[in-house]
């Protein structure tokens, strides 16, 4: 009879990671809502549309332009949350679990690339962020971290897909 100890460990650890992912999803969603609403709230408070040359116009414009990044980040974490949920339920080498992980990796890669392009344009145009001028070294570090994480997640998804193929083959044999 097969030893299910390993599967039990996977299910327990997935439960913890799903809980953590849940909180990250909440945080990312909150950040997304704030990013989307901030310019509107700003305009409502000042009761007028800012002139295109004013700093307020620039802030509003760049805030909205940054919006795809939190969207991608949020989508990646939602996919990870669902993935851990499926692992917790015992669906390890399952097509939907694998696709969830793969999608999360792709969103993470897309987010890292988008953020880098966005920050690079800001750097070229010399447009400061809320925390001061754009530091290209910090942005490159974020890009490398995002690329490594995204690639690792995609690799893990391919490994799971390999396991899924084996499981399907085994079922066919039995």
Partner 1 sequence: MRNLENKEKIIQVSGILKIIAWLGMAWNAFLGVSAMFDALLLPLLLRGGVFREGSMPNIRTVAWTTFPAAVIGFIVWWNFWQLFRRLNDGHIFDGPTVARLATAGKWKLAGWIYSLFSITILEYLTEQTDSHKLWIEFVRLFVVEISHVNGLIGAMAILLAAWLLREGQTLDEEQKLTV
Torsion angles phi and psi, residue 157, rounded to 5: -65, -40
Among 58, 76, 79, 57, smallest CA distance to 68 is for 76
Query: Is 49 a residue that touches partner 1 (CB under 8 A)?
Result: no
CB of 39 to partner 1, least distance (A): 31
Query: Is 167 a residue that touches partner 1 (CB under 8 A)?
Result: yes
Among 81, 107, 108, smallest CA distance to 21 is for 81
5 bridge partner residues: none
Q: To which H or E segment does residue 69 belong? A: helix 68-88
Q: Which of 54, 96, 135, 165 binds partner 1 (CB under 8 A)?
A: 165
CB of 99 to partner 1, least distance (A): 13
Query: Is 93 a residue that touches partner 1 (CB under 8 A)?
Result: yes
Q: Which of 95, 129, 135, 169 binds partner 1 (CB under 8 A)?
A: 169
Alpha carbons 16 and 88: distance in angstroms, whole number: 9
Query: Is 109 a residue that touches partner 1 (CB under 8 A)?
Result: no
Alpha carbons 14 and 8: distance in angstroms, whole number: 10
Residues 116-155 that bind partner 1 (CB under 8 A): 148, 151-152, 154-155
Alpha carbons 10 and 124: distance in angstroms, whole number: 46
129 bridge partner residues: 132
CB of 113 to partner 1, least distance (A): 15
Closer residue to partner 1 (CB): 7 or 46:
7
Q: In Å, what is the CA distance from 97 to each residue of 88, 103, 104, 162?
A: 11, 10, 11, 13
Fill in the per-residue mask, 3 to 42: x = in contact with partner 1 (CB under 8 A), - = not in contact.
x--xx-xx--xx-xx--x----------------------
**In the complex, which residues of this chain contact partner 1 (CB under 8 A)?**
2-3, 6-7, 9-10, 13-14, 16-17, 20, 87, 92-93, 148, 151-152, 154-156, 158-163, 165-167, 169-170, 173
């Amino acid at each position: 009879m097969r030893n299910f100890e390993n599967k039990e460990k996977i299910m327990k650890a997935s439960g913890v990671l799903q809980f953590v992912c849940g909180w990250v999803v909440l945080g990312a969603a909150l950040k997304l809502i704030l990013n989307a609403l901030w310019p509107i709230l700003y305009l409502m408070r000042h009761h007028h549309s800012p002139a295109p040359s004013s700093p307020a116009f620039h802030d509003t414009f760049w805030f909205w332009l940054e919006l795809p990044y939190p969207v991608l980040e949020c989508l990646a974490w939602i996919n990870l949350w669902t993935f851990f949920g499926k692992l917790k339920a015992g669906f390890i080498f399952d097509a939907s679990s694998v696709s969830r992980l793969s999608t999360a990796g792709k969103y993470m890669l897309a987010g890292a690339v988008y953020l880098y392009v966005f920050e690079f344009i800001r750097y070229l145009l010399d447009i400061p962020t809320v925390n001061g001028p754009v530091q290209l070294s910090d942005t490159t570090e974020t890009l490398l971290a995002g690329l490594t994480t995204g690639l690792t997640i995609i690799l893990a998804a391919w490994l799971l897909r390999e396991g899924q193929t084996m499981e399907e083959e085994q079922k066919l044999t039995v």
